[in-house]
Amino acid sequence: VRVENRKKVHHFENFVFAAADNDSEEQSEKIVPGAWRDDLPAYSAAEVAEHNSLSNGVWVFYANGVYDISEFVRQHPGGADKIMMAAGSSIEPFWALYAQHRCDEVYEILEQWRIGNIEVQASASRAEASDDDAMFANEPDRHPAFKVNSPRPFNAEPPPALLVDRFVTPNAIFFVRNHMPVPPRVDAERYRLSIETQDGRCVSLSLDELRRLFRKRIVTATLQCAGNRRSEMSAQRQVRGLKWGTTAISNATWGGVLLSDVLAHFDLATPGELSFKLAHVHFYGADHDGAGTHYAASVPAEKVLRDGGDVLLAYEMNGAPLPPDHGFPLRAVVPGHVGARNVKWLERVVLADAEVDSHWQRKDYKALSPSIDWSVADDQDFADAVSIQELPVTSAICSPPPGAVVDASEQDYVSVQGYAFSGGGRKIIRVDVSANGGRTWHSAKLVRSVHDEDVPLHPHDFGANEADSDAARMVAAAYLASPDSNRYAWTLWSVDLDIDQDNTNDRTVELCVKAIDEAYNSQPDSIDPIWNIRGLLNNAWHRVQISIVHSD
C-alpha cells in the first residue's frame, strides 16, 4: 500500500549499510550479483528449499548465488512477510515486481549474506507441468507467489499483503481464473476476431486492423471473480466451487479499442442503438473443453452501447501485450462487471436478443436465495435468478493476516491495510475498520479514491519496471490526462488502530472492515443471509482475528 511504502522509504534511508568483506572496491564499480564463486560450497535446490523458515534458517538464491538471510528478514524494509515469500527459493520472481531492488546498494546488501552457489535449472518448476495431457500443453510459467486453488485448469490468487502493495497489480501476480486449459498461442499475424449480428451480417478483423482503424482507449479496471471470498462462505455452510481466499481480485490498466467504435465503424450498431433485437452482446473465447464447448458469456447491450459504452476489446495489460493467462491476443474488458464476463482469448462477438446460452451465463454465476440448497435447487431456480453483471460493494483486510501476533510491548497500534471495490463504476467513499468486531469504527485513509485525486500515479503502477517500460509510461501519461480515471478501479486503504494499553491481558481481537460506495450501499454484516449454494458474491464484512500479546 502506498501509505506503507512511504513509511518504509523512511526506514530504508535509515538502513545501516555494512560493506561486504570481499573486494568491495571493485563491487562498488560494477556488481555482478549471484556470480559463481569458487571459494564457496555448492548446494542443490533441494537443500536450499529445506531452509524456508526462521527455525530452519531462511535461504534464498539469486542467479548462481545462495544466501542465508535469516538475520536480515526482520530488517527487510518491505517487511518480513514479503521477503519470507521467497524463503527456500529464488528471489528473482519477487524482485521482478519491485524495481527498487535493481540497484547496486541492494546487490551489495545481498552479497554480504552469501554462503554458496547453486546450479540454476532454468525450468525446474516447469518440468512438473509435463505434457501427459495434451489439453494442458499451453500453460505458461506462473509466479511462485501464487496460492494455487486448482492446477488444471489453472486458478490462483496472489498473497494478500503483496496484492495491496500496488494500486495497479503487476501482470505476473494478477489473479488467474481459467475455466479450461489455456488455448494454443495464436500467431498475432493470423489472428482474426469475428463480429456477427443475428440477421447474418459479419465482419472479421485482424489485430493489426483493430489497432490501426480505431483510437486506443485506456481504462484502469479492477476484475474480481464472483467466487472471491468463497472459503469464508463455505466455512459457514458448505458450498460448491474453488476455495478462493480474499484475493481473487486484481487491478490493471487495460489498453484496447472500444467495442462500440468497432460496431459503429462497420455499421453493425451505433452508440445508443438498443432494442429488443439488440439486447445482449455475446463473447466467445478460444478456450474449450475438448468436446466442442467454448467458454462464452454475455453482457447487456446497454453496457456496450449506451453513451459509447466502456467495453474494451483489450490487447494490452499494464502496457504489455496480454499474457497467455489473461487472454492473448485479445480479451473483453467489461469494467465494473464480474470477472466472468471479461472473456479471454476472444474469438467471436455476437449481437443478440437474449443472453448467451452457455453454462456460465445461464446456470453458473447466479446467486440464489439462501433458502435454496443443493437438495432442492432445480433448473427453474437457476432460470429465475438474474445473471451477475455489476458487482456489489466489497472490501477485505489484506494485512495483518489471520492469526497474526502483535506485541503490544513493542508497538501501541496495529496497522491494517486492504482493498475496497464496488461495481458499475461506483467509487468507494468510506472504509470503516473496527478492532472490536464491529462495535466501534474508524475511518481508513483511502488512496486512489475521490479523496486523493492529488496523489499522482507512479509509472511503476503501470508496470514500468516490466519489459515494455516506455509503453507503460505512455499508458500512464494518457491515463492521467483523462478525468475521472479511477471510476472502475479499486480503492486501497490503510489505518493504524490504537491498542488499548490499559488492557495488559493477552487477547484475541477481531478486526473487521466494511466499505461504503458512492450510492451509499454498504456491506451486509454477516454471511448467512447472503449464503448461496455456489458460494458467490460473499461481500459480508471481512473479519480477521489476531492476537495481542505483551512480551514484557
Residues that bind its own copies (CB under 8 A): 272, 274-276, 306-308, 367, 369-371, 384-386, 388-393, 423-424, 426, 429-430, 432, 438, 440-443, 450-451, 483, 514, 516, 518-526, 529-530, 537, 539
Q: Which residues of 149-188 are buried (b: 16+ CB within 10 A; e: fewer)?
A: beeebbbbbbbbbbbbbbbbbbbbbbbbbbbbbbbeebee
Catalytic residue among 365, 419, 479, 488: 365
Q: Of 51, 143, 177, 280, which is the active-site residue? A: 177
In the complex with its own copies, the residue whose CB is nearer, 371 or 508, is 371
Rounded to 5°, angle at Cα 148 from 143 and 154: 85
Catalytic: 288? no
Q: Percentage helix, strand, coil, to 5, in the chain?
A: 25, 30, 50
Please name the residue that has the C-alpha cell 463504476: 425
DSSP string, 389-416: -BPPPEEEEEESPTT-EEETTT-SEEEE
Q: How far is the CB of 353 from its own copies (least distance, A)?
A: 12
* Nearest of 444, 441, 434, 443 to residue 510 by alpha carbon: 434
Q: What is the DSSP letter of 304?
A: H
Q: Please give the Cα distance from 408 to 414 (Å, whole number).
A: 9
Joined grid coordinates for residue 303: 453496457
| 76 catalytically annotated | yes
Rounded Cα gap, residues 224 and 461, in angstroms:
19
Catalytic residue among 62, 107, 225, 398: 225
Backbone region of residue 272 per phi and psi (left: phi > 0; alpha: psi in -120 to 50; beta: other values): left
Whether 265 sits among the annotated catalytic residues: the reply is no
- Shortest distance, position 521 Cβ to its own copies, whole Å: 4
Residue among 151 and 529 whose Cβ is closer to its own copies: 529
Q: DSSP letter at 112?
A: T
Q: Mind giving me the DSSP string for 464-512? A: TTSS-HHHHHHHHHHHHHSTTTTTTS-EEEEEEEEP-TT--S-EEEEEE
| Min separation Cβ 170 and its own copies, Å | 29
User: Does the annotation count 365 as an active-site position?
Assistant: yes
Among 37, 76, 152, 473, the one annotated catalytic:
76
- In terms of CB distance, is 142 or 230 closer to its own copies? 230
- Closer to its own copies by CB, 104 or 353: give it: 353
What span, in angstroms and rounded, lies between the C-alpha atoms of 465 and 96? 8
202 catalytic residue (yes or no): no
Rounded to a whole number of angstroms, the minimum distance from the CB of residue 332 to its own copies is 19
In whole angstroms, give the CA distance from residue 280 to residue 351. 6
- The nearer residue to its own copies, 353 or 412, going by C-beta atoms, is 353
The least CB distance from residue 394 to its own copies, in Å, is: 10
CB of 536 to its own copies, least distance (A): 8
DSSP string, 220-263: EEEEE-TTTTHHHHHHHS---S----S-SEEEEEEEEEEHHHHH
Q: Which residues contact 12 (CB under 8 A, 6 or more apart)?
A: 77
Least distance (Å) between residue 392 CB and its own copies? 4
Name the residue nearer to its own copies (CB basis): 308 or 401. Answer: 308
Q: Which of residues 315 and 488 has its CB atom nearest to its own copies in the complex?
A: 488
Cβ distance to its own copies smaller for residue 235 or 383? 383
Q: How far is the CB of 359 from its own copies (least distance, A)?
A: 19
Catalytic residue ranges: 76, 101, 177, 225, 365
